[in-house]
Amino acid sequence: MLGHNRKMSGAECMADMLQGYGVTHVFHVPAVLRKTYAVMESRTTIKRLHVHSEATAAYMADGYARASGKPGICMAQVIGALNLAAGLRDAWLAHSPVIAMTGGRDAKTKFRKVYQEIDDMPAFEPVTKFNATVDDVSRFPDMVRQAFRTAVSGTPGPVHLQFRGNEGQVDAEEAELEPLVEAQFSRVPSFRPEPDAASVDAALKCLQGASRPVIVAGGGVRASGAAAELVALAEALQIPVATSLNGKDSIPGNHSLAVGVVGSYSRESANRVVNGADLVCFIGSETGGMTTHFWAVPKIGTPAIQIDINAEALGRNYPLQAAVNGDAKVTLARMLARADRTSAGRRAAWVAEVQDICQKWRAANKAVLESDAVPIRPERICGDLSRHLPDDAIVVVDTGHAGMWMGGMYDLTSPRQSYMRSAGHLGWAFPAGLGAKCAMPQRPVVTFTGDAGLWYHIGDIETAVRWKINAVTVVNNNGSGNQSKRGFDRVYGGKQTEQAHELWTFNKMNFARLAEDMGAIGIRVEKPGDFAGALASALKAERPVLIDVVTDIDALAPLAVS
């Protein structure tokens, strides 16, 4: 209740507020808000994870946020601030509610060449929704509340607070403070804005009148927790559903109306279906370059409708026949309540055609998804993950080839499974998987990464061991970043020189052995038939596990069709 101030330090206020918002972990490289960390020990149950780089701290906070819907907290002192800002880029691109806190400049010493100091604030501008300084201890309560409010409201996203002092020493000062928290803003979504009825009816009229419609479900569906409503509406009106990479867990891959991930890191069947549609309904999607294969799938001019919590997103890339501004879950529930189910029959031929396209994709890829080739094909790993992951697994996937393989080849098999992917940063997935496991310790977390991706933050195997973060990490170990191969083939005129390989290959490495040396369990898999067993024992282990799968350096993921 406002108006109940009492004398306390900024540190005590911060600790009480973080606890009050339900924060269970903070990820940091020391030393920042030192006093806060000290008082957290006696005043809270928050775990203070000291990790190996500020980017790791940001990615763990991001994984924590995407897995739980609660803001993930990461921190750095002034010299590490730009590393932390760099780590927020993926959270920004993925609309993940991460709150970053750093130490910053003191008015008394600005511009005097203080050790390690520059003006960090501009670096946070492009990767945050709210980027502010806290220069006076009296501002702790309102600024922390504003940080939480902004991170989880509307389209969620990162925020940054910079605290006075290179280590944020303002936290040691005292004032009359009230550590009030607003439960409403402790997780995504903070509010569920209702759409207006006329726009719902206009959208429904378009969908019901279409003979070949498709839904493209984006990350807004997952942020809203709207998967059940999405599937119910698709079933009621018989509309196939494609997803963005960020919305992949909106519908299980084995659902009869699921066509797969559309766009650049996609499944061929999804692109074919979306390009064959007479109406595309984007829900919680940015309609960005990755989801639309740079606006070729669907082509600009294809009739479209769009539903988004953020009115500014409506019509950004596709002229719309109907636009609905509202939370995805309540909007889809309203649509379902008002839907004319009798119109579904109009789409029977289209649904049959779509199912045939999907079936043909499965038939064409059965051999690689079950391949016994040695070295192992990455598609076989994806196939085995589809077949063997538990119903409540959280799957975390890196970018580049990892994003292509898993986006296109892996199927979720239960509505209880979650899927989170790097929005572009190589190396994101391994720490993000650890963060996800911190947030959801009772659920199995399985990360899929390439070896180039793992190298970035390999030191944090030690973090996982020290903090008993029992996530499973699967490394597609081809001794290279072979997604780059095609591009170098091209610039070498079709055939690379022997020396050109130095541009994208690494030394061969046994990651299982490295993991064992750091105290984790390492399992080396060289034969495809051994993968499922390795996964089963990894999921039972009570330690972090790294499954090092030796794969084919010549395996290249299929390119998107348009």
Shortest Å, Cβ 400 to ligand TPP: 2
Q: Three-class SS string for 278-320?
A: CEEEEECCCCCCCCCCCCECCECCCCEEEEECCHHHCCCCCCE
483 is a contact residue toward ligand TPP (CB under 6 A): yes
Nearer to ligand TPP, 133 or 496 (CB): 496
433 is a contact residue toward ligand TPP (CB under 6 A): no
What distance in Å separates the CA atoms of residue 291 and residue 217, rounded to the nearest whole number? 10
Nearer to ligand TPP, 171 or 451 (CB): 451
Give the closest residue to 429 by CA, choosing from 40, 23, 55.
55
C-beta separation of 282 from 305 below 8 A: yes
478 is a contact residue toward ligand TPP (CB under 6 A): yes
Strands lying side by side in the sheet with 130-134: 47-50, 25-29, 72-76, 98-104, 159-164, 130-134
What distance in Å separates the CA atoms of residue 552 and residue 451, rounded to the nearest whole number? 12
Q: Classify burial at 147, counting beta carbons within 10 Å of its beta carbon; exposed 0-12, middle 13-18, buried 19 or more.
A: buried
What distance in Å separates the CA atoms of residue 101 and residue 448, rounded to the nearest whole number? 29
β-pair partners for 174: 9
- Scanning 266-274, 333-341, 474-482, 519-527 for contacts with ligand TPP by CB under 6 A, the matching segment is 474-482
Nearer to ligand TPP, 266 or 478 (CB): 478
Out of 67, 394, 426, 525, point to the residue binding ligand TPP (CB under 6 A): 426
Total residues binding ligand TPP (CB under 6 A): 18
Out of 24, 343, 484, 505, point to the residue binding ligand TPP (CB under 6 A): 484
Q: What count of other Cβ atoms lies within 10 Å of the Cβ of residue 215?
A: 31
482 is a contact residue toward ligand TPP (CB under 6 A): yes
83 is a contact residue toward ligand TPP (CB under 6 A): no
- Scanning 143-151, 236-244, 268-276, 446-454 for contacts with ligand TPP by CB under 6 A, the matching segment is 446-454
Q: Which of residues 389-418 bind ligand TPP (CB under 6 A)?
A: 399-402
Out of 481, 522, 528, 544, point to the residue binding ligand TPP (CB under 6 A): 481
Tell me: cis bond preceding 415? Omega within 30 of 0 counts: no
380 is a contact residue toward ligand TPP (CB under 6 A): no
Out of 172, 239, 270, 452, point to the residue binding ligand TPP (CB under 6 A): 452
Out of 154, 450, 522, 528, point to the residue binding ligand TPP (CB under 6 A): 450
Nearer to ligand TPP, 419 or 430 (CB): 430
Shortest Å, Cβ 417 to ligand TPP: 23
Structure-token pair, residue 111: 């511009």
β-pair partners for 397: 421, 448
Q: Which amino acid is at 241?
A: V
Binding site for ligand TPP (CB under 6 A): 399-402, 424-426, 450-453, 476, 478, 480-484
